[in-house]
Structures are given as C-alpha cells and as structure tokens.
A = this chain, B = another copy of it.
Amino acid sequence: MSKIFVDACFGKETPYTPVWMMRQAGRYLPEYMKVRAEAGNFLNLCHDPKKACEVTLQPVDIVGVDAAILFSDILVIPDEMGMDLEFVKGEGPKFKDPIKTEADIDRLIGGEEAASKLTYVYDTIKLIKEQLADDKALIGFAGAPWTLATYMIEGEGTKTYNICKKMMYSDPELLHKILAKITEVVKLYMEKQIEAGIDVVQIFDSWAAAIEPSKYDEFSWKYMVEIADYLKERYPHIPIIMFPKGIPAFLDKIYGNFEVFGVDWSTPMELAREKLGDKYVLQGNMEPCRLYSKEATTESVEALQSVMGGKRHIFNLGHGILPDVPVENAKHFISECHRVSKK
C-alpha cells in the first residue's frame, strides 16, 4: 500500500498534504503521561520496546497525524558509546564525564559495537511496524553529530556552548575527531533502523544555530551530508529529512543528496521556498505556540498553504509541540492541514 507521507517526501502528487508534529509523542497527551509514569522515567521508556511502541502510536490514533515518529531520544547514542546518560529531574540530560581530550575520545565505544547495543530501538521499530496501519509511515531519527557532540563535550545542555566553541576555535582537529567518531555510529544506527523497518529518516540538528554561518558546513553540515550519502547509496527508496534548526541566514549554502528540508519557525516559508524549494521538498513550519489558539493555528495553516500551494510540502510545526498545548488544539491543527490541502 502506498504511503502518502513517503510519496510526499519524494515530491509526488498526493490527495492532500500530509502532516506530523515534532514531539508529537509527548507530554501534551494524557495517554503518554500515563505510560511514562508506569515506566518510572524517561530513559526507562526509551529502553522498553513495548511502552515506546505504545507512545509512538498514540498520536496517530489520537490526533490523526500521517506519520509516526519512533519514540526515543537522540542521546541514546552517546549513552551506548559509553557516556552513561542520566536525566536529572528539572535539569535535563547529564553526562558525568564530558569529553575533554583525545584519550576520552579513544575510550568511547565506536562504530558497529555502539550501534549494535541499541537493540531496544530496533525492537521498538519492529513492534511498531506490526501495529502501524499500512498507509502510515514510520519516521526513524538521529541527532546530528554536532548536536550530539555539544552534549558530550559540555556534559549537559548549555546556553553558551562555550566549552565546545573553545575547542572549535582553539583545537578544531579534536572536535573533528569527536564528530567523525559520532558520524560513524549514526550511519550504522540509521542503517539498522532502516533494516528494522523505518520508512523515513530524519536527522535533527537541534543546535545548528549555535555555530556561526561561516563555520556551519565544516563542523556540522558536512557530517550530516556524509550520513545522508551513506544511506542514500544503500537505501535510495528511504527518504531523508534534514532539519538544521535556525539557519535562515544561509539557506543558499545548503547542499546534499536528500529529499526533504525541515524548515524551523524562525525561517519564513517564502524564503525557504525561494532558496530551496526547487531542490528539496519543504517540511514545516508553524510556530508551535500558535497551538495555544485555534484561530492563530488556522491563520498559519492557511498562510502556509497559500505559500506552498500544496506542492512539494509536508506540514509540520517549526519545532516541538509544548507540553501545555490542549490536545483538541493539536487535533485542530492536523485537521486544518488536511482541510486546506485536500484536492
């Protein structure tokens, strides 16, 4: 059975423009909160294929999105590379021993060995594929090497990225060594996700905007392109979505062999269409806080439809849905996307 979401990723004409929401399997859903409470904590939920499968499917059933996205976290990779991930309540993810030296990098578990440890992810994917309707797509994902490296070097989330950036400007070779080692794991991790059954790949560069424009290719984009090339060569039928958040200043520098460019909400869709619309299908980009108001949601969906005209477009938010959004407003967003784009 043909999947409208996969067709749309390849730029084929579809009966309506498909839609999903970043962080759609998340805290705004009471059903998610229940499963998460049963799991005890966020990391347990990632490690439990049955529960991770359950929360992956919830937004498909409850809000009616056209694609499920694997429930997991981008930081399972550094965790399985030996960095011992912890989620501290109210503070977010932490790594006790951040990467500081070449010896720290050498100690990290790399390549096939690290990717093979993520069996709970591949098991989750197999379970989801058994239960997901044939006409819905399953998106697998990974964090971009740069985004992962920021956590591995800073040891936690950061506002200033000053430790990473000190390395970027004072010892760029060390940073490249970390990025290269992560890239190898991400390639194999995504390959194994594909082998387990995902239909689409998304690479999230959540902290793209932390790098100055003239250095972005060198420290992030080229590694993302390397991953895309690796996958595209082996799995040309699996579309790839690249989402570098917050880089409207240099869209004309974007290149590479992938199908969909994820547009965040800081980038006007007109600008993205002008700079990238011929080369890539565009995904996005309603400002997630518009979900607080049905009127503001409809206004944005209609504006996006008017810019994109239902062509080479996938509706989405320009970043993740927030926990305090009413479920009925999320449903309204999905149904409005379908309404305005129906042919």
A290 contacts partner chain B, Cβ-Cβ < 8 Å:
yes
Interface of chain A residues 269 through 320 with chain B (CB within 8 A): 271, 287, 289-290, 292-293, 296, 303, 318
Q: Is the CB of A169 within 8 A of B212?
A: no
In Å, the complex CA distance between A261 and B213 comes to 19
Cross-chain contact A162 with B324 (CB below 8 angstroms): yes
**Quick one: which of B161, B165, B213, B293 contacts A170, CB cutoff 8 A?**
B293
Is the pair B249, A213 in contact by a Cβ cutoff of 8 Å?
Answer: no
A165-176 contact mask (Cβ, 8 Å, vs B): 1 or 0: 110111000000
The one of B214, B246, B289 in contact with A169, judged by C-beta atoms closer than 8 angstroms, is B289
CB distance from A154 to the nearest CB of B (A): 13
Of all chain B residues, the one with the shortest Cβ separation from A293 is B169
**A327 to B293 CA separation, bound complex (whole angstroms):** 49
CB-CB nearest in chain B for A297 = B169
**A160 to B321 alpha-carbon distance, docked (Å):** 11
In the complex, chain B residues whose CB is within 8 Å of the CB of A303: 214
Closest B residue to A295 by CB, please name it: B169
Secondary structure at the A interface, as helix, strand, loop or mixed, is helix
CA distance A331 to B280 in the complex (A): 45
Measured between beta carbons, the chain B residues less than 8 angstroms from A296 are 169-170
| CB-defined contacts of A290 to chain B, threshold 8 Å | 169
Provided the pairs A248-B248, A249-B271, A268-B249 are in contact, do residues A170 and B212 lie with their beta carbons within 8 angstroms?
no
Q: Is the interface on chain A under 10, 10 to 19, 20 to 34, or 35 or more residues? A: 20 to 34
- Known interface pairs A169-B296, A212-B265; A289-B248 also in contact (CB < 8 Å): no
Contact indicator B250/A249 (Cβ below 8 Å): no
Would you call A166 and B292 a contact (CB within 8 A)? yes
Chain B residue, CB-CB nearest to A215 = B287
| Contact of A105 with B by CB under 8 A | no
Q: Is A119 an interface residue when CB atoms closer than 8 A count as contact?
A: no
Point out which of A166, A249, A296 has the most chain B C-beta atoms below 10 A from its C-beta: A249
Are A168 and B268 in touch, CB under 8 angstroms?
no
In the complex, what's the smallest C-beta–C-beta distance from A26 to chain B, in angstroms? 13
Nearest B residue to A213 by beta-carbon distance? Answer: B268
Question: From residue A297, how far is it (CB to closest CB) to chain B in Å?
Answer: 9
Contact residues of A between 150 and 190, Cβ < 8 Å to B = 160-162, 165-166, 168-170
Measured between alpha carbons, how far is A271 from B251 in the docked complex, in Å? 12
Closest to A320 in B: B160
Within 8 A of B (CB), among A185-221: 209, 212-214
Taking A166-B292, A170-B296, A212-B318 as known contacts, 7 extra A-B pairs with beta carbons closer than 8 A to each other, sorted by chain A number, are A165-B289, A169-B290, A169-B292, A169-B293, A169-B296, A248-B249, A249-B271
Which 3 residue pairs spanning A and B have beta carbons closest together? A248-B249, A165-B289, A169-B296
Report 16 cross-chain contacts, Cβ distance below 8 Å, ordered by A residue.
Answer: A160-B289, A162-B292, A165-B287, A165-B289, A165-B292, A168-B289, A169-B293, A169-B296, A170-B292, A212-B265, A212-B318, A214-B268, A214-B303, A249-B266, A249-B267, A250-B268
Could you tell me which A residues sit within 8 Å of B by CB distance? 160-162, 165-166, 168-170, 209, 212-214, 246, 248-250, 265-268, 271, 287, 289-290, 292-293, 296, 303, 318, 322, 324
